[in-house]
Amino acid sequence: MMESGRYLDSGRYEGSSGSRPENRMGVMSVHRLLLATSIPMVISMLVQALYNITDSIFVAHFSETALTAVTMAFPIQFLMISVGIGTGVGINAFLSKSLGEKNYRYVNRTATNGLFLAGMSFLVFVVIGVFATDWYFQSQTSDPEILRNGREYMMVVCIFSYAIFAQVTLERLLMSTGKTIYSMYAQLSGAVVNIILDPIMIFGLLGCPRLGVMGAALATVIGQTVASLVALHLNLKKNTEINLSFKGFRPDWRIIRRIYSVGVPSILMASLGAIMTYGLNAILLSFSTTAVAVFGVYFRLQSFIVMPVFGLNNGMVPIIAYNYGARKRDRIDQTIKLSVMYAVSIMVLGMIIFQLFPVQILRLFNASPTMLAIGVPALRIISTHFIFASFCIIFISVFQALGNGIESLIIAFARQLIFILPIAWLLSLTGNIHAVWWAFPIAEGATLIFSFLMLRRVYNRKLRYLTPLPTPPPA
C-alpha cells in the first residue's frame, strides 16, 4: 500500500514514495528565498556587466572610431538579446507556474518548445546579419572607418547568434526551477572566457592576429558558446525537475502561443530600447561622433548598476509566478516589497558613484578632453534617474511574472517612445548637448507615476482577492 504524504512543521510537503516534494519556492522564508535565488544571478549579472565594460574599454583603446562603430551596432545586438530574454521570460513565467500547479508534463513540453523557439530566433538573425548589415550602418553614417568596423562586428554577432539564444534559454530553464546558482556558473564561464579573449583577439597577443573590432565580436560569441554548453550540461545533470528530450518532438503551437503571450510583449518592450538607442544615436550624431561614443560608454557603465537589479528580477519572477500558481498572496506581497527595497538600494549606490567619480570612470575608456567635456555632465545628469528606474524595473517584472505582458509593454512604450525620444529631440533643438541628457530623468519620473497606477490596477484585479489552494489533509 502506498504511504500517504504529510506536511512537516516547516511547511514543506513530504510526499509518499515516488511523489515529488514541495518546491522551495512555495515554502522557504521569502527573504531567504529571494536572496538565495537572486544573489547568484546578481553576481553573474555583475560579471556580465563587467565583461561589457571591459569589452568597451579594450575597443576604446583600439580607437574612438571603433567605440563609435560598436555603439552604433548596439541596437541590433540589443534587439537580439531582447528576443532571447523576452522569449525566456515567457518560458520562465509559464514553466514556474506549471511547477506551482504540479503539472510536470507541461513543464517538460514548455522547456523543449522554448529551445525550439531559440533555434528559430537564431535563423532570423542570420538573415539580418547577411542581408541588412550594410543598409543598417549606411542609414546612420557615411564615415568609411565606422562602416567597416561596424560591418565586421555586426556580421559576426548575427551569424553566430545561436550562442546567445541557446545560452539565454538554457539559463532560464535553470532559473525557473530556482537553480540560479547553476545559471550563475554558466554565465561566469562565458564572461571569463570573453574577458580573457578580448585583449588577445583585439590587439593580437600570444600569436593571435590583430583583429580589432572583429576580435571583440569573436571573443563575444566564443564566450556565449562556452556559457551555453555549460548551461546545457547543468540542465541535463542537475535540473531534475525538467526532462529535456526531443524524441518524437513536434512544435506544440498551443504552448508556443502561451509562451509568446508573455514573451512577445517582453520582446517588443525590450526592442523599444533598441529603437530608443538608434534614435538617440541619430540625435547625438547631429552634435558629433564623440557624443555617440559617450552615450555608448554610459550604456555600458549603467549596465554595471542596472544589471544587478535585473539579476534580482530574475530571482524574483519565478518566486512570484510559482506562488501565483499556488495562490499564495502573502508570499507574493513580501517578494515585491523586498525586491523594491533591494533595487532602490543598488540604484542609489550607483547614482552616488556616477556623481562623485565621472572623470575617473571615463578615463578608463581612454577619454579625450572632448569626451570628458561631454561625458562628465552626461553621467551626472543621467544618473539622477536611477532611483525612479529601480521602481519601474521591479514593477515591469511583476507584470511579467503574473502573465500581464501587455502592461509591461505599455509602460516600456510610454517611457522609450512617448517620453525619452521626443523629449531628447526637443531638448536637442536648444543646440546644447548637455540639455539632451535631461530626457532620461524627466522620462523616468513620468514612467514611475504611470507604472504605479498600472500596478495598483493589476493588483486589485489579480491578487487582492486571491485565495490559497486547499492543502491535502494530514496522514
How high is the pLDDT of residue 10? 36
The tally of CA atoms less than 13 A away on the side-chain side of residue 453 is: 6
How high is the pLDDT of residue 406? 77
- The model carries a pTM of 0.72
d(CA 169, CA 161): 13
Q: Long-range contacts: 449-458, Cβ < 8 Å, 24+?
A: 450/411, 450/414, 451/391, 451/392, 451/395, 451/396, 451/411, 452/391, 452/395, 454/395, 454/399, 454/407, 454/410, 454/411, 455/395, 455/398, 455/399, 458/398, 458/399, 458/402, 458/404, 458/407
| 3-state SS class at 6 | strand
In 357-420, alpha helices (H)? 358-363, 369-382, 386-401, 405-413
Query: Angle at Cα 421 formed by Cα 420 and Cα 422, nearest 5°?
Result: 100
Q: At what angle do helices 289-325 and 180-203 cross, to 10 degrees?
A: 160
pLDDT tens-digit profile, the chain (475 residues):
333 444 333 334 444 444 555 566 666 777 888 888 778 777 767 776 777 777 788 888 888 888 888 888 888 888 888 888 888 888 877 787 777 777 777 788 888 888 999 999 999 999 999 999 999 998 888 889 989 999 999 999 999 999 999 998 998 888 777 787 888 889 889 988 998 999 999 999 999 999 999 999 999 999 999 999 999 999 998 887 887 877 778 888 888 888 888 777 767 766 777 888 889 989 998 898 899 989 988 988 888 888 888 878 878 888 888 888 778 888 888 888 999 999 999 999 999 999 999 999 999 888 889 999 999 999 999 999 999 988 988 888 888 788 777 787 788 788 878 889 999 999 999 999 999 999 999 999 999 998 889 888 888 888 877 776 665 555 5
Whether the Cβ atoms of residue 140 and residue 73 lie closer than 8 Å to each other: no
Residue count of the chain = 475
CA-based torsion, 51, 57, 62, 66: positive or negative: positive
How high is the pLDDT of residue 107? 81
> In the chain, what are the domain boundaries?
26-462
Q: How many CB atoms lie within 10 A of CB 39?
A: 17
Burial, 151: exposed, middle or buried (Cβ in 10 Å; 0-12, 13-18, 19+)?
A: buried
Chain position carrying cell 515567457:
90
How high is the pLDDT of residue 359? 94
d(CA 43, CA 35): 11
How high is the pLDDT of residue 121? 93
How high is the pLDDT of residue 82? 82
How high is the pLDDT of residue 18? 46
Residue 151 identity (one-letter amino acid): R
Residue 174 identity (one-letter amino acid): L
The tally of CA atoms less than 13 A away on the side-chain side of residue 46 is: 10
Burial, 10: exposed, middle or buried (Cβ in 10 Å; 0-12, 13-18, 19+)?
A: exposed
